[in-house]
């Protein structure tokens, strides 16, 4: 018996963005890069009122969290969480770092990935997706990617850019991003 | 295999407890809801952990939306309080709760809000609080107003306060809205009614609590929030 979700609506900018929101890591964290993307709706139009949040492991695949059975590990300059509202062109930008591999439910390692929540007007519940890295050999053995249809799997793999990686999110339509439920 | 046991996963929602992403009565879902089925994601450590955001994110007056300016805002002063629990009734301690809302006239302090109702120079409408060791939180604010929103002919949103919660895991993240009891606008609101199960829908409605009012000062509404609970861990099963 949980409390139902409701849309974040168009006016969340009043309460949710933080000045340091887009920084999952400190600006000068070793290996830091920009994760950038555009959010598109079912008509291919940019979504200017979405909020993107991420959560991920540190470069060693560890979490600063009491439920990590390997023990919490705090890394200076690393938060692992970021939130960024999209701009008028539907774009977001998050400063982060490549996570290490993380154990899945059976203890086997999953390929490096970033969990993403998409919140927006018109979304009665958040959408959840994952960013995987291009040219990552471990993707071939990742148990989550393996459950996704081979054609649609490509929507979960980021593209390399000049200053990091790009991960576009298509909420609906021909190139609809794979969204998860758990 | 690792020499540790993975934490227990969080339980799925009951059917009709969560609103369907495609809800035609709410027009904005039309182009923003996926058409492909969602893919089941087994909960690994990324899903079973989450940001531990501390009280350093919360200032001393962040919970009191009536004291963030030089003067007092217009409107009916209220306290909104409650507990954040998981699906097994356990308190969700030390977790960040964020709220935002209109002023008493039904206007958001946001450039995109075109409702011709007055802004209030003494009201921003955003607050933050941490739950305590019992999962309790408390805000002081003014009762928000209803406002029109063009979803359908003469559409009005019932008065509501937006809530954002992290819980203790990525899986528990919740963004929702709190409504006020007996609002005559409920029947025509497609966002409220997007939750198909009437009992689940009622969990979005706060309870007026006369006993919690402050005499000669403020009315009070209780809003308990239930995040997803966990499956029992193997150890608890064996006990």
ipTM: 0.97
How far is residue A43's CA from residue B32's CA, in Å, rounded to a whole number?
Answer: 9
More confident residue, A105 or B102: B102
Whole-angstrom CA distances from B198 to B160, B192, B194, B201, B203 are 18, 10, 10, 5, 9
pLDDT at residue number B236: 42
pLDDT at residue number B233: 54
**Which chain B residues are within 8 Å of A117, Cβ to Cβ?**
170, 173
Q: Say yes or no: B230 contacts chain A, CB-CB below 8 A.
A: no
How far is residue B57's CA from residue B94's CA, in Å, rounded to a whole number?
Answer: 12
Q: Kindly report the nearest CA distance between residue B29 and chain A, in angstroms.
A: 4
Nearest Cα neighbor of A147 from B213, B171, B39, B72 is B39
Run of H or E including B96: strand B96-101
B-proximal residues of A, 133-162, CB under 8 Å? 143-144, 147-148, 152
Run of H or E including A52: strand A50-55
pLDDT confidence of B232, banded at 50, 70, 90?
Answer: low
pLDDT at residue number B76: 98
pLDDT at residue number B14: 87
Domain boundaries of chain A, sorted by first residue: 12-170
Question: Bridge partners of A130?
Answer: A115
- Does residue B46 have a pLDDT over 70? yes
Residue B10 annotated in active site: no
How far is residue B173's CA from residue A28's CA, in Å, rounded to a whole number?
Answer: 29
Out of A4, A6, A67, whose CB is closest to B48?
A: A67
**Which chain A residues are within 8 Å of B169, Cβ to Cβ?**
67
Which of A1-5, B13-17, B68-72 is least confident? B13-17
pLDDT at residue number A105: 82
The DSSP code for A145 is: H
- Does residue A160 have a pLDDT over 90? yes
- Does residue B238 have a pLDDT over 80? no
Mean pLDDT for chain A overall? 96
How far is residue A31's CA from residue A95's CA, in Å, rounded to a whole number?
Answer: 10
Q: Is the Cβ pair A182, B171 closer than 8 Å?
A: yes
Residue B162 annotated in active site: yes
pLDDT digits (tens, 9 = 90+) for B104-141: 999 999 999 999 999 999 999 999 999 999 999 999 99
pLDDT digits (tens, 9 = 90+) for A65-78: 999 999 999 999 99
- Does residue A12 have a pLDDT over 60? yes
Out of B12, B45, B110, whose CB is closest to A13?
A: B110
Which residue of A lies nearest to B2 if distances are taken between CA atoms?
A: A107
Percentage helix, strand, coil for chain A under 3-state DSSP, each rounded to 5: 10, 30, 60
pLDDT digits (tens, 9 = 90+) for A80-133: 999 999 999 999 999 999 999 998 888 789 999 999 999 999 999 999 999 999
| Dihedral over Cα of A126, B44, A129, B34: its sign | negative
pLDDT confidence of B237, banded at 50, 70, 90?
Answer: very low
Mean pLDDT for chain B overall? 94
Out of A43, A107, A147, whose CB is closest to B31?
A: A43
Q: Is the Cβ pair A81, B50 closer than 8 Å?
A: yes
CATH 2.60.130.10 for domain A12-170, yes or no, is: yes
Tell me the whole-structure pTM to 2 decimals: 0.96
Which of B36-40, B51-55, B216-220 is least confident? B51-55
pLDDT digits (tens, 9 = 90+) for A131-145: 999 999 999 999 999
pLDDT at residue number B7: 87
- Does residue B235 have a pLDDT over 50? no
pLDDT confidence of B231, banded at 50, 70, 90?
Answer: confident
Q: Say yes or no: B110 contacts chain A, CB-CB below 8 A.
A: yes
Domains with residue ranges and CATH for chain B = 45-226 (2.60.130.10)
pLDDT at residue number B6: 79
């Amino acid at each position: 018996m949980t409390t139902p979700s409701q849309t974040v609506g168009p006016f969340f900018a009043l309460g949710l963005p933080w000045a340091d929101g887009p920084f999952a890591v400190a600006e000068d964290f070793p290996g830091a890069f920009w994760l950038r993307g555009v959010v598109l709706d079912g008509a291919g139009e940019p979504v200017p009122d979405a909020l993107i949040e991420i959560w991920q492991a540190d470069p060693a695949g560890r979490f600063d969290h009491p439920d990590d059975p390997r023990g919490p590990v705090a890394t200076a300059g690393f938060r692992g969480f970021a939130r960024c509202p999209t701009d008028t062109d539907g774009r977001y930008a998050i400063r982060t770092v490549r996570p290490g591999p993380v154990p899945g439910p059976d203890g086997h390692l999953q390929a490096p990935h970033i969990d993403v929540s998409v919140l927006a007007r018109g979304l009665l519940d958040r959408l959840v997706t994952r960013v995987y890295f291009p040219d990552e050999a471990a993707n071939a053995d990742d148990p989550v990617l393996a459950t996704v249809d081979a054609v649609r799997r490509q929507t979960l793999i980021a593209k390399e850019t000049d200053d990091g990686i790009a991960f576009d999110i298509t909420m609906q339509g021909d190139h609809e991003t794979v969204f998860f439920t758990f | 295999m690792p020499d540790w046991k993975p934490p227990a996963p969080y339980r799925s929602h009951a059917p009709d407890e969560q609103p369907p992403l495609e809800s035609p009565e709410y027009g904005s879902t039309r182009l923003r809801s996926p058409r492909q089925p969602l893919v089941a994601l087994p909960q690994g450590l990324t899903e079973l952990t989450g940001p531990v955001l501390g009280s350093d994110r919360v200032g001393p007056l962040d919970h009191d939306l009536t004291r963030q300016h030089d003067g007092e805002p217009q409107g009916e002063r209220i306290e909104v309080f409650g507990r954040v629990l998981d699906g097994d009734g356990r308190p969700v301690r030390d977790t960040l709760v964020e709220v935002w809302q209109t002023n008493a006239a039904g206007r958001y302090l946001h450039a995109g809000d075109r409702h011709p109702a007055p802004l209030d120079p003494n009201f921003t409408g955003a607050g933050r609080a941490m739950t305590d060791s019992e999962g309790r939180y408390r805000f002081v604010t003014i009762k928000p107003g209803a406002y029109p929103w063009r979803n359908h002919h003469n559409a009005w949103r019932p008065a509501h306060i937006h809530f954002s919660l992290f819980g203790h895991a990525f899986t528990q993240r919740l963004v929702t809205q709190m409504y006020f009891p007996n609002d005559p606008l409920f029947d025509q609101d497609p966002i409220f009614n997007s939750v198909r199960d009437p009992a689940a829908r009622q969990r979005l409605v706060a309870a007026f609590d006369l006993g919690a009012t402050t005499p000669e000062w403020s009315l009070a509404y209780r809003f308990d929030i239930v995040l997803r609970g966990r499956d029992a861990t193997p150890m608890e099963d064996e006990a």
